[in-house]
Amino acid sequence: MASAKDTTAPFSDPVYLKAAILDPAFSLAWVEHHVLVSPEVKEVVAQKVKELILQGAAENVPAACFEAEEQEGQQPEHEVGLFAAYHKIQRKNIGTTPAHQLSHYIDISDGQNALLFWAINRNTLPALFRVAIRVLTVPASSAPVERVFSHGGIILQPHRAQMSDRLLSNLIFCKCDAS
């Protein structure tokens, strides 16, 4: 029998906190507008969630993203070829750390549509964009999974009790894929 320690609360995974912050419709409003919590607790929660986001951003961003690959006016090492003199100098975003991007995001997010916001700001906030793409794909509810189980219960009636697992799986897939 499972004890209280073994069970986890619904939505206790940090991905839900990240998704709430990185959805510009909510941002930090859900923390700031909670009336029953003291300002100190609100500040601690906001800081913890920011740290989670920055940790996720740091996992995906190579260190070279924040340094210039080549300085302007500096010639690349001896390249041979017809267009060697036309080498494009590529620069990365210097000084735009995930922390700067997060503070800028909090300043500019004001209840916008998440898909539109991230489509517009994907180049402005590249580290946060990578985190947002990961966390905003998590479904906010378990309704789709519940529907699949419901279809399974409808298909597997008592008169079909000897159906193989593979056939049941294929029938559920066909039913749910068609819906």
pLDDT single digits (tens) 137-148: 876 667 777 888
Sign for the CA dihedral angle at 17, 22, 26, 29 comes to positive
pLDDT bin (cut points 50, 70, 90) of residue 129 is very high
Burial label, 29 (beta-carbon count in 10 A; 0-12, 13-18, 19+): middle
Please give the mean pLDDT across all residues of the chain: 76
User: Which carries the bigger pLDDT value, residue 92 or residue 47?
Assistant: 47
For tokens 């601690």, name the residue.
Answer: 44
**For the residues 37-42, what does the mean pLDDT come to?**
85
User: Which carries the bigger pLDDT value, residue 14 or residue 167?
Assistant: 167
User: Two tokens at 83?
Assistant: 């267009």
pLDDT bin (cut points 50, 70, 90) of residue 117 is very high
CB neighbourhood size of 143 (10 A) = 9
Between the alpha carbon of residue 118 and those of residues 16, 74, 126, 169, the distances in Å are 18, 34, 10, 36
Which of 26-35, 50-59, 118-127 holds the top average pLDDT? Answer: 118-127
Q: Half-sphere exposure of 5 toward its Cβ, with a 13 Å CA cutoff?
A: 0
User: Two tokens at 52?
Assistant: 């989670």
Alpha carbon dihedral 158, 160, 163, 166, in 10-degree steps, equals: -100
User: Which carries the bigger pLDDT value, residue 8 or residue 100?
Assistant: 100
Residue 156 has pLDDT above 80, yes or no: yes
CA distance 8 to 16: 14
